[in-house]
């Protein structure tokens, strides 16, 4: 899930001397993307004040990478224009499909268009079956067309969730005795990205504080003060899932963080980025996505 929230943290990155060739290549692409299209991580709220209850307008089945079988989900007259605007829906799907290589997003079998007015919820992904093998990508009609860069960065965030729930990384038969990271009622496998991310950055004191320092589901100021440097954004503090997705989004649109002379990252937020930067598969994917973005923006 992705909500527009005030980004309270800024992380400074310096181009590294390029120990990993792939990171350097991707960093050059990040530079190109920013130069050509501008900012992808920090956004202001929209000026339009039309918040309303979230409602799904239409759902599509993805077949042969195309939107098929539209099902209108609202009968109210005021939503019909948005619900039947196939041209825009196709464009929004294409923006996602053109950026993420097809083989990396086979789980997404449904596309939904919803709205809750401008801002608030921008997009989300949701599993469609118990075994979490099929997912829907849902995007807010109004936000998606209001700010193209924000839409792209939101898509990257949502894809971060899909990446975390890649099939082979989870034990679909949930065990109540799971000792690895648990989410969506599933037990992650020991060597999964989800569990490694959790073990490295959340397990222990942070997870304990996160459980106790919350008001209405959001972390309180004390938690924020204590752990500010551990997260790429305030929204990443929501839970380990959002942290993973936010960090993936920053991984895509920022350059590789530098390390100290002792080979350490300067804070935990950088170390989380390092989690992706030190994964050759992720570096390859980053390069492909940035190239696609430059080609199809």
Contacting residues toward Zn ion, per CB under 5 A: 1-2, 242, 245
For residue 160, the minimal CB distance to Zn ion (Å) is 7
DSSP 8-state code for residue 102: G
Nearer residue to Zn ion within complex by CB, 67 or 236: 236
Task: Identify whether the C-beta of residue 70 lies closer than 8 Å to the C-beta of residue 271.
Answer: no
Nearer residue to Zn ion within complex by CB, 192 or 233: 233
3-state secondary structure of 183: strand
Nearer residue to Zn ion within complex by CB, 29 or 269: 269
Sole residue written with tokens 């380990």:
240
Nearer residue to Zn ion within complex by CB, 158 or 256: 158
Strands (E), 78-193: 108-115, 121-127, 135-140, 170-171, 182-183, 186-188
For residue 184, the minimal CB distance to Zn ion (Å) is 13
Q: Give, rounded to a whole angstrom, the gap between the first and last alpha carbons of the chain.
A: 23
When CB distances to Zn ion are compared, the closest residue is 1
Beta 182-183 vs 186-188: how paired, if at all?
Answer: antiparallel
As a whole number of angstroms, the distance between CA 234 and CA 218 comes to: 10
For residue 235, the minimal CB distance to Zn ion (Å) is 8
Nearer residue to Zn ion within complex by CB, 23 or 137: 137
For residue 10, the minimal CB distance to Zn ion (Å) is 20
For residue 99, the minimal CB distance to Zn ion (Å) is 17
């Amino acid at each position: 899930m992705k909500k527009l929230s005030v980004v309270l943290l800024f992380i400074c990155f310096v181009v590294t001397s390029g120990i990993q060739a792939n990171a350097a290549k991707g960093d050059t692409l990040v530079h190109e993307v920013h130069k050509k299209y501008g900012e992808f991580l920090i956004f202001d709220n929209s000026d339009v004040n039309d918040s309303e209850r979230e409602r799904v307008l239409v759902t599509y089945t993805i077949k042969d990478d195309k939107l098929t079988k539209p099902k209108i989900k609202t009968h109210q007259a005021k939503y019909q224009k948005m619900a039947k605007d196939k041209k825009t829906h196709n464009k929004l799907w294409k923006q996602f499909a053109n950026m993420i290589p097809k083989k990396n997003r086979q789980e997404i079998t449904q596309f939904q268009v919803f709205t809750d007015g401008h801002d608030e919820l921008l997009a989300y992904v949701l599993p469609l079956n118990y075994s979490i093998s099929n997912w829907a990508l849902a995007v807010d009609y109004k936000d998606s067309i209001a700010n193209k860069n924000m839409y792209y960065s939101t898509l990257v965030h949502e894809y971060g969730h899909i990446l975390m729930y890649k099939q082979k990384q989870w034990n679909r038969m949930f065990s109540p005795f799971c000792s690895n990271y648990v989410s969506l009622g599933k037990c992650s496998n020991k060597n999964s990205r989800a569990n490694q991310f959790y073990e490295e950055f959340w397990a222990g004191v942070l997870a304990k504080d996160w459980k106790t320092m919350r008001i209405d589901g959001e972390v309180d100021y004390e938690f924020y003060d204590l752990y500010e440097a551990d997260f790429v954004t305030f929204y990443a503090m929501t839970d380990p899932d959002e942290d993973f997705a936010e960090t993936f989004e920053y991984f895509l649109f920022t350059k590789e963080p530098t390390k100290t002379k002792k080979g350490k990252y300067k804070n935990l937020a950088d170390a989380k980025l390092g989690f992706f930067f030190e994964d050759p598969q992720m570096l390859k994917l980053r390069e492909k996505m940035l190239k696609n973005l430059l080609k199809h923006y």
